[in-house]
Amino acid sequence: MAEKVAKLGVSREKDFMYYVKDGGVWKVQRKQPGVPKGRPEKVVDGGFEMDTDYIYFVDRDGDVSRAKRAVGGQKRKKSAGAAKRKAPPKKKAKKPAKKAAKSAGKKSAKAAKKAVKAKKKGKKKGKR
């Protein structure tokens, strides 16, 4: 999966983090609570050019290796829930307000208007 780019044999120290930048290996002190941020320092110049299609790292032997960069992340299996979410929402046909007023029957015009407003807002009719 990973291929060696340069055999440098960097010996690691416990409290430092090692990384590859501009063809060289750098180290910086690990962040610890109450300790100020450390300054990075160059350990070894590897003498190689870096390609943006790969990620470079210091492997367990202390050598610089590279692996193909995963662009766009990992493909995931489509679930049934995802298919439902992609479907366009169904539109409900709107009923004219006149029918609601007619169905109010013997109620006064004022009560019929309240019923229509309550229906539009999605509230129940009547007292609570």
Asked if residue 38 belongs to a domain, the reply is: yes
Contacts (Cβ under 8 Å, ≥6 apart) of 51: 66
Taking only Cα atoms into account, the Rg of the chain, rounded to an integer number of angstroms, comes to 34
Question: How far is the C-alpha of 86 from the C-alpha of 26, rounded, in Å?
Answer: 47
Asked if residue 84 belongs to a domain, the reply is: no
Q: Which residues of 112-125 are buried (b: 16+ CB within 10 A; e: fewer)?
A: bebbbeeeeeeeee
Asked if residue 86 belongs to a domain, the reply is: no
* Judgement on whether residues 109 and 64 belong to the same structural domain of the protein: no
Q: In the beta sheet, which residues pair with residue 28?
A: 17
Q: Averaged over 86-101, what is the pLDDT?
A: 65
Q: What percent of the chain has pLDDT over 70?
A: 76
Asked if residue 112 belongs to a domain, the reply is: yes
Q: Count of CB atoms within 10 A of residue 63's CB?
A: 17
Instruction: Give per-residue pLDDT as tens, 58-76.
Output: 998 889 999 998 878 777 8
Q: What is the mean pLDDT of the chain?
A: 80
The per-residue pLDDT for 124 is 62
* Judgement on whether residues 105 and 48 belong to the same structural domain of the protein: no
* Judgement on whether residues 99 and 51 belong to the same structural domain of the protein: no
Asked if residue 87 belongs to a domain, the reply is: no
Range of the domain at 15: 3-68
The per-residue pLDDT for 113 is 79
Roughly how many angstroms between the first and final C-alpha of the chain, as a whole number?
68
Asked if residue 59 belongs to a domain, the reply is: yes
Q: Averaged over 31-39, what is the pLDDT?
A: 89
Half-sphere exposure of 111 (CA within 13 A, CB side): 10
Domain count, the chain: 2
Asked if residue 80 belongs to a domain, the reply is: no
